[in-house]
């Protein structure tokens, strides 16, 4: 599987890329929002000009009464603010809607991660509400709020 966006390419994480992704997720600007995962299996690498600059992950609810997909993303701080995260989220969203048949997508950034929220709004995600004490900060052990956002297929830009 390889998904091509306007600026980025998404494809399964390849052997040897775990170290690159582990360095990225430990950058202070990324670690503020992401804890290092046990592994990167099942994630898609985000490539820009052939370089791995981050990863996206998604999960699918397959119960026909609640069918939808959720996602999350991180990029190296060196490429923040360039529209690459927006392109990656839009590219994955289009695939989840068009190829996988999902009518609704969700994403849940930390409530104070204004840059991520702004990026997801560009794709068409809308705030649903605050999930209080939703995630634990792996660095401090304290709980933080998250903003649940969703996107209906017909709202995808």
pLDDT of residue 118: 97
pLDDT of residue 84: 98
pLDDT tens-digit map of 30-83: 999 999 998 999 999 999 999 999 999 999 998 989 999 999 999 999 999 999
Q: Is the pLDDT of residue 98 over 90?
A: yes
Q: Is the pLDDT of residue 17 over 90?
A: yes
Q: What is the pTM of this model?
A: 0.94
pLDDT tens-digit map of 135-148: 999 889 999 999 99
Rg of the Cα trace of the chain?
15
114-123 and 84-98 are packed helices; what angle lies between their axes, rounded to 10 degrees?
A: 50
User: Rounded to an integer, what distance in angstroms lies between the CA atom of residue 118 and that of residue 104?
Assistant: 19
The band of 157, judged by pLDDT with boundaries at 50, 70 and 90, is confident
Residue whose entry in the numeric block shows the structure tokens 């068009």: 98
pLDDT of residue 91: 98
Sign of the CA dihedral running 108, 85, 4, 46 = negative
pLDDT of residue 69: 97
Tell me how long the chain is. Answer: 157
Residue whose entry in the numeric block shows the structure tokens 């898609």: 44
Note whether 93 and 101 are within 8 A (CB).
no
SS3 content of the chain, % helix, strand, coil (to 5): 25, 35, 35
pLDDT of residue 3: 98
DSSP letters spanning 21-84:
HHHHHTSHHHHTT-PPPS--TT-EEEEETTEEEEEEEEEEE--TTT-EEEEEEEE-GGGTTSSH
Query: Exposed (0-12), middle (13-18) or buried (19+): which is 61, by Cβ within 10 Å?
Result: middle
């Amino acid at each position: 599987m390889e998904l091509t966006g306007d600026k980025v390419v998404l494809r399964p994480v390849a052997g040897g890329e775990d170290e690159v992704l582990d360095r990225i997720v430990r950058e202070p600007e990324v670690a503020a929002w992401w804890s290092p995962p046990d592994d990167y299996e099942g994630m898609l690498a985000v490539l820009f000009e052939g370089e791995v600059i981050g990863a996206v992950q998604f999960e699918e609810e397959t119960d026909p009464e609640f069918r939808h997909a959720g996602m999350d993303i991180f990029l190296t701080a060196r490429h923040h603010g360039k529209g690459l995260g927006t392109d990656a989220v839009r590219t994955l969203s289009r695939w989840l809607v068009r190829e996988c048949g999902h009518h609704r997508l969700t994403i849940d950034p930390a409530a104070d991660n204004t840059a991520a929220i702004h990026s997801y709004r560009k794709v068409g995600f809308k705030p649903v509400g605050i999930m209080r004490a939703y995630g634990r900060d792996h660095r401090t052990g304290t709980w933080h709020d998250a903003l649940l956002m969703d996107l209906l297929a017909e709202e995808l830009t």
